[in-house]
Amino acid sequence: MISESIERHLLTLMVSLLGAVMIWTGKTTYEAKTLTIALNERVATLAANLSVHSHEKIKDQLHAIESRITLIEYQQGTTKMKKLSLERFRSDADGSLGSLFSDGKMLCYIAAPPWKQNRNNVSCIPAGTYPVSHLPRSASGRYRDVYLLHDVPGRSAILIHCGNLSGDIELGRKTDTHGCLLPGKRIGTINGQRAVLASKGALQIIHQEVNRSDFVLEVKHYA
């Protein structure tokens, strides 16, 4: 019988390998889904003997795998996901602005950097349709209860998280994002710079709409 410390290491390794295989191959199987469920159950039974950090890390990895399974099934046409639409209507030195819709109903505003040909750290992302998964926390650990956009051309770690400012840093404007999407319930100003306000409340609206589940986001450029 193996010790619990060894089992913890094996669990971590199994979760990492399963996630890597699915990401590299872009495929999911009934066996992968079954293994994910089994790993979740075993991690739950070991929770009392795992450090908080180790437990959260393994659970986050499993959550990411479950999201990847859903996204692959969506791409294969074997499952359906809710679709939201971001319609941008403005882009200038204070950033880009858009309205987020679900079934024709406006949920909130979305701010992001201005459009600068999709350049890393200074531009909003291009128009397109992106699978989105919920994350209990971001990979860096800085943000919690957020969303991650997948398959963004030339970009990575594009999140939907709280924030207010999205100005053009090359023009000296302040920003809370280098490409991520910032929700807001209304538009106002902070120290003379345009901003989205009540961001936490707007993120809660998104949570309520998608139930912290995976969804599809269609991004349309401003006119």
Given 75, 95, 126, the domain boundary residue is 75
User: Which residues make beta-bridge pairs with 196?
Assistant: 187
Instruction: Please check the confidence at residue 21 and state whether its pLDDT lies above 70.
Output: no
Given 75, 94, 121, the domain boundary residue is 75
Nearest to 19 by CA among 2, 47, 49, 39: 39
pLDDT tens readout for residues 139-174: 788 899 999 998 899 998 999 999 999 999 999 999
Residue numbers of the domain that contains 185: 82-220
pLDDT tens readout for residues 186-205: 999 999 999 999 999 999 99
What pLDDT, on a 0 to 100 scale, did the predictor assign at position 1? 42
Stated as kind and residue range, the H or E segment containing 200 is helix 199-210
What pLDDT, on a 0 to 100 scale, did the predictor assign at position 2? 43
